Amino acid sequence: MLKTALVTGAASGLGRALVVQLKLHGYYVMEFDIAYGHDVRAPRASQIPEELDVLVNCAGINRIGWLAEFPADDWDAVLDTNAKGIFLMAQACLGALKKRSGTILNIVSNAAHMPMRCSAAYNASKGAALILTRQLARELAPDITVFSVSPNKLSGTEMSRDIDVQVQATRGWSAEQAREYQLAGLLTHEETPVEAVADFIGYLLQDKAHHKFLAGCDLPYGA
């Protein structure tokens, strides 16, 4: 039986790399992305396959800014995509996942574990995604396995490039100052390649035996 996966945020960054990895591991992959007319904030039944082995919630956005000036609309956009989007996609895919005793993998972030300046909305959304992962794992066990991976700052993604620009504008720093500040907090002093994270996740999702006992767990990735 052909394995089927649905990956949100599939058009770029880690989502794109995960599509490639899952295909290498024998999955038919549905690429779910706002760029293709798929919105995690409003999934439609017609966009969900009838049977599903794996749902990867990778779609995410970020907005940064000091609390005093941070727009409520930006708060809503970040929380609706990064946290509510996971809830809505899990709900929409529940029937399809039950048919295959499937798996939900949520891409969270080290932001769920570490507060950062000018990042209240993103950190709150990822904290919500983390506890939602644990809640879903408990509610959907034992048939559906739910766990998460929390990458550190990824290299070369659209979000990373956008955040670098936002950090410069918010802090009044040069590109070099912003880069030095962010790399100083990483043990390797380098951003995590998306291919490395995708390869790790590809192994975990290759077979349910590789991740069955990770139910409710969050795996940090990147130093």
Please check whether residue 162 lies inside any domain of the structure: no
Please check whether residue 171 lies inside any domain of the structure: no
Asked whether the predicted pLDDT for residue 223 surpasses 70, the reply is no
Please check whether residue 176 lies inside any domain of the structure: no
Tell me which of 49-58, 96-105, 160-169 is least confident. Answer: 160-169
Long-range contacts, stretch 187-193, CB < 8 angstroms, 24+ apart? 187/223, 188/222, 188/223, 190/155, 191/152, 191/153, 191/154, 191/155, 191/156, 191/160, 191/222, 192/151, 192/152, 192/153, 192/154, 192/155, 192/221, 192/222, 192/223, 193/154, 193/155, 193/156
Please check whether residue 111 lies inside any domain of the structure: yes
What CATH number did the domain enclosing 71 receive? 3.40.50.720
Please check whether residue 178 lies inside any domain of the structure: no
30-49 pLDDT, tens digit each: 999 999 999 999 999 999 99
How many distinct structural domains can be found in the chain?
1
Please check whether residue 163 lies inside any domain of the structure: no
Whole domain around residue 149: which residue ranges? 3-155+193-218
Please check whether residue 173 lies inside any domain of the structure: no
What is the model's pLDDT at position 157?
72
